[in-house]
């Protein structure tokens, strides 16, 4: 996620890792400095962006809490109150991006005004920073797990949907790259169409579906295969497993 964010911003980075060398690889790509410790990063920047796994919160906070001037966290299933207790007295911002930030078509959910003593200028700066990476949507913190289940993991769902269609088209004679291009461009175009229709999914679906026609037959096959139940199970698995 750190790499996707950094590529989206497209600027030199000050970063650290747990020893894999991925921070140095990012610096090779974007410029900046891979620093020897989290503390060295926290000391040099106005905003630390936490991109480690949720289980690392305490260990990283033990290193940099008190030095970090402000913290934005992309940690899944880690509420603002938990972040705040790890970073007492430091402004913390809970952001939930998806990997499409890399191409500045991301979605970033965040909970506004969750600071005990909010700094509106700092919050506006953080929102503007993430706004360079796509659409920032403010939501109630109680909705964050459900939001993550659709937008945070969403690129994986969309990629799987694309892959399944590509494989099926290949069985009917399309070359894989051609099929993938057709499917991916159709996904992008459909997303734009949905936005133009006020996100009315039924309207877009009805426009394509002539009574008794081929789209109706294809959709009926998807319904018989249980596509809605499959997505319900997937989203339940993410929401109910949040925090594990």
Ligand X SMILES: NC(=O)c1ccc[n+]([C@@H]2O[C@H](COP(=O)([O-])OP(=O)(O)OC[C@H]3O[C@@H](n4cnc5c(N)ncnc54)[C@H](OP(=O)(O)O)[C@@H]3O)[C@@H](O)[C@H]2O)c1
* Residues at the contact surface with ligand X, assessed by CB under 6 A: 1, 16-20, 22, 38, 51-54, 56, 59-60, 74-76, 96-99, 152
- Token pair of 105, please? 């078509």
Q: Rounded to the nearest whole angstrom, what is the least distance from the CB of residue 210 to ligand X in the complex?
A: 38
The CA-atom distances, in angstroms, between 154 and each of 103, 171, 177 are 15, 26, 22
CB 144 within 8 Å of CB 96 = yes
Nearer to ligand X, 20 or 121 (CB): 20
Nearer to ligand X, 17 or 33 (CB): 17
- Indicate the residue among 229 and 240 with the shorter CB distance to ligand X: 240
Rounded to a whole number of angstroms, the minimum distance from the CB of residue 64 to ligand X is: 9
Q: Contact 31/23 with Cβ under 8 angstroms?
A: no
CA distance 5 to 101: 6
Distance of CA 237 to the CA centre of its chain: 17
Least Å distance between CB 73 and ligand X?
A: 8
In the complex, residue closest to ligand X by CB: 76
CB of residue 75 vs ligand X: minimum separation in angstroms?
A: 4
For residue 39, give both structure tokens: 């503390």
Give the nearer residue to ligand X in terms of CB position, either 103 or 196.
103
**Which tokens sit at 189?**
């175009």
Length of the chain: 244
Structure tokens at 95: 């952001």
CB of residue 74 to ligand X, shortest distance in Å? 5
3-state secondary structure of 33: strand
């Amino acid at each position: 996620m750190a790499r996707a964010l950094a590529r989206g911003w497209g600027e030199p980075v000050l970063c650290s890792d747990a020893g894999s060398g991925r921070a140095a690889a990012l610096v090779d790509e974007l410029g900046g400095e891979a620093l020897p410790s989290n503390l060295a990063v926290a000391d040099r920047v106005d905003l630390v962006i936490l991109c480690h796994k949720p289980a690392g919160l305490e260990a990283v906070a033990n290193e940099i809490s008190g030095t970090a001037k402000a913290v934005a966290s992309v940690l899944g299933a880690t509420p603002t109150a938990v972040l705040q207790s790890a970073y007492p007295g430091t402004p913390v911002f809970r952001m939930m991006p998806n990997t499409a930030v890399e191409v500045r078509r991301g979605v970033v959910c965040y909970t506004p005004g969750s600071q005990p003593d909010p700094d509106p200028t700092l919050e506006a700066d953080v929102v503007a920073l993430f706004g360079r990476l796509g659409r920032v949507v403010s939501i109630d913190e109680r909705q964050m797990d459900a939001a993550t289940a659709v937008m945070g993991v969403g690129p994986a769902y969309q990629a799987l949907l694309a892959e399944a269609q590509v494989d099926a088209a290949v069985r009917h004679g399309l070359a894989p790259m051609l099929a993938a291009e057709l499917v991916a461009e159709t996904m992008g175009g459909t997303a734009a169409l949905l936005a133009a229709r006020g996100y009315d999914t039924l309207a877009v679906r009805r426009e394509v579906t002539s009574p008794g026609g081929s789209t109706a037959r294809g959709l009926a096959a998807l319904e018989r295969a249980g596509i809605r139940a499959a997505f319900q199970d997937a989203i339940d698995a993410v929401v109910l497993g949040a925090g594990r």
